[in-house]
Structure 1
Amino acid sequence: MRYGFVAFSAFTLFSLGLTGCALRPFEQREPWRTQAEEACLARGLVTPSEDVVPTKAIDGPGVCGMEHPFRVTRLAGGTVALKQRMTLACPIIPEVEAWLAGTVQPAAQLYFGQPVVEINSGSYACRGRNNQLGAKLSEHSFGNAVDVMSFRFADGYVVTVKGGWRGTEAEQGFLREVFLGACNHFTTVLAPGSNIYHYDHLHLDLARHDPRGLRRICKPLIKFQPQLPPPGTPLSPIRKKPPAWQPAPDPAPIDVEEDDPYGATPMSRHEPANPSRVARSPVPAPSVPAPTQAYAPRPSAPRSAAALPDGPLPLSAPTWSSGPIY
């Protein structure tokens, strides 16, 4: 009996040791994370509601967690549902809201003539980057990141990042608009083609890549001419005012990244693309013009809230570069 108890205790300690190694027990939680959370709350950047509910602090394992987490079931005033409930820190919530209002919904109206009503996304998870044991902790470990796998429209049609990135012209155009628009709100934006781990989702986070928060990562570099007008310009849906686009002969590929050579990674559940969209939809899919130049970030509109003390600075003068993948 005693031998069995000792053996069980030894096994438990060994397992905890492995877990500690996997979560990098000597990694410290940077002070700016708590400062950003508290500043966000002090400025009232997130309004609690039945869809955005503050909950108790998450402390551990290791340095994972957040001081003031929110459980989010809907966004955009309840008009955009979440297929999976998200747990997020305060600072990223207003940026997701601003991205939805300023880019996602205008792009949805432009390419499909209807709004997005649900997104399938992932949030808090205490894990290493790319789900690798022993790797540096992902921003998901601090509620500071969102993964978006798909968008569902008002008529029930679903555009998945996995299927739509190289899907119909409308799907490609929509996903590239929301990808490039996200680069104006988040410090890290990764899409299919950035690496083998992000072939099926958009990764968005507010990581600080340098002490001053000036460095930005937006990958992959693509050739695409955004069709959304500057923020604040009234938008005419394609069904009412078709764009004067002319298909170019033998158009070049819409982007320059390579296909995923490995084909699959252990990510979240996916929704299958619906190839019948163009055939049944009354909304003609726009012809995406041949690429004209590599994308350079457009001047950002004012962010949804002022920069937080010691947090990321406004994105009006970013430094874009490659860097570690999340």
Structure 2
Amino acid sequence: MWRSVLAFSALALSGAGLTGCALNKFEQREPWRDQAEQACLAKKLVEQTEFVTPAKAIEGPGTCGMQQPFRVTRLGKGSVALKQRMTLACPAIAEAEAWLADTIQPAASLYFGQPVAEINAGSYACRGRNNQVGAKLSEHSFGNALDIMSFKLADGYVITVKGGWRGTQAEQGFLREVFYGACQRFSTVLAPGSDMFHYDHIHVDLARHDPRGLRRVCKPILKFEPQLSADGSVRPATRRPAPAYQPAPPQGPVDLEEDDPYGASPMSSRQAPRAPNPVARAPAAPSAPSAYAAAPPRAPAPRRPAIAAYEEPAPGFAEPLPLAAPGAMPGPIY
């Protein structure tokens, strides 16, 4: 009998070991990842400073890692602090800096009359999507993704994605400008309303959804007309009514990033106290060009229809849609 028990235990342990290794056992590192990283480094798109410093190559476990990771403690030439240090590859840093310069800071100035001083974001982590053993590796595993949880303004006011997405009009407008600008730069952008995993953060990455890297995924669809142009300037005040909702055409299966940046330690809803902030009552008048435009101007990207099948309210934001709560039954997981 004891022999049978020992044999069964050994078999169970062996199976558990194989399951644990399944994270990277059969997945290969796509050649385009190293090629994109090398091209970014060759063009010197990331400037090394006391806040952005190179680190040793990260090799695994498995296919995780990057050739030339950077440790980042501040963005915008030191003007914006990071609540937690990020580890990213060159392409993600270059796009994050440009996004900060031509969207995030101009949007903060437009809606709150002051700049963003701190960002709470997640970065590199070698894990499967949704922290599931055996799942395809997350883009975070290659330093190719960020999860934005909150923004702190210069006066200390905190805008969380979880609370601000359906918060004051100023918060909603700011976060939607940030979301819309991200969709012009990153190949994947997932915000609250896209699925149950992104109810409290905005996920951005530079994954390739087709061989040439032309396909973009931007969810959810928003009835929102951005007030900022691609270069961060304020558009002429020509308000037009939001278009009527048109259901998105059926799409084939898309390989999406769906993950939880918090793992087993969710951010407390009390982390971002809502102190009175008079500047949030109404959008401020357009100010002079932002001093945070550290990244070179980029030609406006062609407007592509967002690939999604979700609906969000227009400014004014009547009839908000219910968001899936943690623990709800998920849809298809990629």
Provide the C-alpha distance between the structure 2 equivalents of 1:233 and 1:11, rounded to a whole number of angstroms: 61
Q: Percent identity?
A: 61
Q: What secondary structure does 1:81 align onto?
A: strand
Q: CA deviation at 1:131?
A: 1.9
User: CA offsets per residue over residues 249-268 of structure 1, 9 Å max, x none?
Assistant: xx99x9x9xxxxxxx98565
**Counterparts in 2 of 1:295-310, with a 5 A limit?**
none
1:281 alignment partner in structure 2: 278
2:302 alignment partner in structure 1: 316
Q: Does 1:201 align with 2:201?
A: yes
Indicate conservation of the 8 Å contact 1:79/1:117, yes or no.
yes
Provide the C-alpha distance between the structure 2 equivalents of 1:317 and 1:233, rounded to a whole number of angstroms: 17
Provide the C-alpha distance between the structure 2 equivalents of 1:63 and 1:95, rounded to a whole number of angstroms: 23
Q: CA deviation at 1:317?
A: 6.5
Indicate conservation of the 8 Å contact 1:119/1:151, yes or no.
yes
**Counterparts in 2 of 1:34-49, with a 5 A limit?**
34-49=34-49
**Counterparts in 2 of 1:262-277, with a 5 A limit?**
268-270=266-268, 272=270, 273-277=272-276
User: CA offsets per residue over residues 287-307 of structure 1, 9 Å max, x none?
Assistant: 9xxxxxxxxxxxxxxx95999
Q: Does 1:17 align with 2:3?
A: no
Provide the C-alpha distance between the structure 2 equivalents of 1:122 and 1:115, rounded to a whole number of angstroms: 21
Q: CA deviation at 1:132?
A: 2.1
Provide the C-alpha distance between the structure 2 equivalents of 1:231 and 1:77, rounded to a whole number of angstroms: 19
Q: CA deviation at 1:10?
A: 9.2
Check 1:106–1:216 CA distance in 2 against 1; reply closer, same or farther (3 A cut). Answer: same
Question: Which residue type is aligned with residue 321 of structure 1?
Answer: I
Question: Which residue type is aligned with residue 211 of structure 1?
Answer: P
Provide the C-alpha distance between the structure 1 equivalents of 2:87 and 2:81, rounded to a whole number of angstroms: 14
Q: Does 1:146 align with 2:146?
A: yes
User: CA offsets per residue over residues 158-214 of structure 1, 9 Å max, x none?
Assistant: 000000001111111110110001001100000000000000000010000000001
Indicate conservation of the 8 Å contact 1:81/1:117, yes or no.
yes
Q: What secondary structure does 2:204 align onto?
A: strand
Provide the C-alpha distance between the structure 2 equivalents of 1:205 and 1:64, rounded to a whole number of angstroms: 15
Provide the C-alpha distance between the structure 2 equivalents of 1:267 and 1:97, rounded to a whole number of angstroms: 28
Check 1:244–1:215 CA distance in 2 against 1; reply closer, same or farther (3 A cut). Answer: closer
Provide the C-alpha distance between the structure 2 equivalents of 1:70 and 1:187, rounded to a whole number of angstroms: 21
Check 1:235–1:106 CA distance in 2 against 1; reply closer, same or farther (3 A cut). Answer: farther
Q: Does 1:219 align with 2:219?
A: yes
1:175 alignment partner in structure 2: 175
2:189 alignment partner in structure 1: 189
Question: Which residue type is aligned with residue 19 of structure 1?
Answer: G
Provide the C-alpha distance between the structure 2 equivalents of 1:232 and 1:104, rounded to a whole number of angstroms: 9
Q: CA deviation at 1:224?
A: 1.0
Provide the C-alpha distance between the structure 2 equivalents of 1:117 and 1:11, rounded to a whole number of angstroms: 51
Provide the C-alpha distance between the structure 2 equivalents of 1:267 and 1:216, rounded to a whole number of angstroms: 30
Q: What secondary structure does 1:61 align onto?
A: coil
1:62 alignment partner in structure 2: 62
Indicate conservation of the 8 Å contact 1:186/1:206, yes or no.
yes
1:165 alignment partner in structure 2: 165
Provide the C-alpha distance between the structure 2 equivalents of 1:112 and 1:219, rounded to a whole number of angstroms: 25
Provide the C-alpha distance between the structure 1 equivalents of 2:214 and 2:267, rounded to a whole number of angstroms: 34
Provide the C-alpha distance between the structure 2 equivalents of 1:315 and 1:154, rounded to a whole number of angstroms: 30
Provide the C-alpha distance between the structure 1 equivalents of 2:268 and 2:164, rounded to a whole number of angstroms: 12
Check 1:306–1:41 CA distance in 2 against 1; reply closer, same or farther (3 A cut). Answer: farther
Indicate conservation of the 8 Å contact 1:94/1:304, yes or no.
no
Question: Which residue type is aligned with residue 63 of structure 1?
Answer: T
Check 1:169–1:234 CA distance in 2 against 1; reply closer, same or farther (3 A cut). Answer: closer
1:83 alignment partner in structure 2: 83
2:95 alignment partner in structure 1: 95
What TM-score results when the alignment is normalised by the length of structure 1? 0.75
Indicate conservation of the 8 Å contact 1:215/1:318, yes or no.
no
Question: Which residue type is aligned with residue 42 of structure 1?
Answer: A
Indicate conservation of the 8 Å contact 2:149/2:200, yes or no.
yes
Provide the C-alpha distance between the structure 2 equivalents of 1:177 and 1:74, rounded to a whole number of angstroms: 22
Q: CA deviation at 1:226?
A: 1.3
Indicate conservation of the 8 Å contact 2:157/2:274, yes or no.
no
Check 1:230–1:96 CA distance in 2 against 1; reply closer, same or farther (3 A cut). Answer: closer
Gaps spanning 5+ residues in structure 2: where?
1-8, 248-261, 285-294, 310-331
Question: Which residue type is aligned with residue 111 of structure 1?
Answer: Y
Q: CA deviation at 1:114?
A: 0.5
What TM-score results when the alignment is normalised by the length of structure 2? 0.73
Provide the C-alpha distance between the structure 1 equivalents of 2:307 and 2:76, rounded to a whole number of angstroms: 31
1:259 alignment partner in structure 2: none
Q: What secondary structure does 2:77 align onto?
A: helix
RMSD across aligned positions (CA): 3.8
Q: CA deviation at 1:244?
A: 9.5
Q: What secondary structure does 1:77 align onto?
A: coil
Q: What secondary structure does 1:269 align onto?
A: coil
